[in-house]
Amino acid sequence: MHGSDTGKAKFNKIRSDLQKMKLEKQQPVGVFDSGIGGLTVAHAIKKLLPQESMIYFGDTVHLPYGDKSEAAIQAYSVKIADILVKKGCKVIVIACNSASSAAYELLKEYVRKDIHIINVIDPMVDLVLNQFPGKQVGLIGTKRTVQSGVYTRKLAEGNKDVTVHSLATPLLAPMIEEGFFNNQISHEIIATYLSDPTLQNIEALILACTHYPLIKKEISSFFQDKLAILDSSEVVALALKHHLEKEGLLNDQATGQYHFLVSDYTESFEASAGLFFHETVHLDKHPML
């Protein structure tokens, strides 16, 4: 390493340590997603940690991420992380499976150690390794998440002999966003996907997409309620709680304030947002420069 490089590394470390020291309990939690689906994770966080304030960013201009390239999702994610850091978030939760699979490693580097990043994949991988060792586990998600192979890789790294059977189910997210669930159309689309031979003989199913908690019951009843249907929103909220506790950043005094930002506002996004957050949500437009 050159002398100037060593100096730069030291400077970055000092800067990082200083910024870390400045983190306060009252600072909000940053949560982002390709759109409004990540509100399922935001809702689980609100339920578990009602004292925490939250800034949610939904990238409705670029939605859906599930069909985008890794490079495009990385570029969007970096811009969003910048917005959340500038708004003073003490931690960032990537509430989107597609963004977690495409951009988590890059974001960790990008924000360095200043702000901890939590993705939706690792807490689920830990749960599966603990509860389903040696089992055949199915997974449904967007094309980006399935093509990335990230769950398969991380589960293999856990050395618990878990076999993953993944199926891309790209119609499900837009179907749910349009309000099609618990009806005949959704039953038929769900049944068509879940009848795929890829998912035969599985013993648990990972819902690797923000939207799928809304069709969890329909999925479960397709399997006659005999299969464990694993939705990550609650385990992610728990991972966040553990992180905040460990860092002494748990906000135990205030009542959470919420601010929902989107890169493109429409009334229909606002209406759909309520489906995912289980209460009325007011969205504010925030440009992504």
Annotated catalytic residues are 96, 209
Binds ligand DGL by CB under 6 A, chosen from 42, 80, 89, 96: 96
Binds ligand DGL by CB under 6 A, chosen from 40, 77, 166, 210: 210
- Nearer CB in complex with ligand DGL: 29/102: 102
Binds ligand DGL by CB under 6 A, chosen from 66, 123, 138, 213: 66
Which residue, 91, 85, 108, is CA-closest to 45? 91
Q: Does 97 bind ligand DGL (CB under 6 A)?
A: yes
Binds ligand DGL by CB under 6 A, chosen from 209, 244, 273, 283: 209
- Nearer CB in complex with ligand DGL: 78/250: 78
Q: Does 76 bind ligand DGL (CB under 6 A)?
A: no
Q: Does 58 bind ligand DGL (CB under 6 A)?
A: no
| Distance, CA of 50 to CA of 46 (rounded, Å) | 5
| Distance, CA of 158 to CA of 161 (rounded, Å) | 8
Angle between helix 97-110 and 70-86 (nearest 10): 60
3-state secondary structure of 116: strand
- Nearer CB in complex with ligand DGL: 135/143: 143
Determine the interface stretch with ligand DGL among 123-131, 140-148, 189-197, 238-246 (rule: CB under 6 A): 140-148
Q: Catalogue the E-assigned strands of the chain.
A: 29-33, 54-58, 91-94, 116-118, 136-141, 163-168, 204-208, 228-231, 258-262, 283-285
Q: Does 145 bind ligand DGL (CB under 6 A)?
A: yes
Determine the interface stretch with ligand DGL among 33-41, 78-86, 103-111, 199-207 (rule: CB under 6 A): 33-41
| Distance, CA of 104 to CA of 93 (rounded, Å) | 10
The count of residues interacting with ligand DGL (CB under 6 A) is 19
The kind and range of the H/E element at 236 are helix 233-246
Q: Does 215 bind ligand DGL (CB under 6 A)?
A: no
Measure the CA dihedral 198/148/121/163, to 10°.
Answer: 40
Return the structure tokens found at 116. 């901890």
Shortest Cβ contact with ligand DGL: which residue? Answer: 66
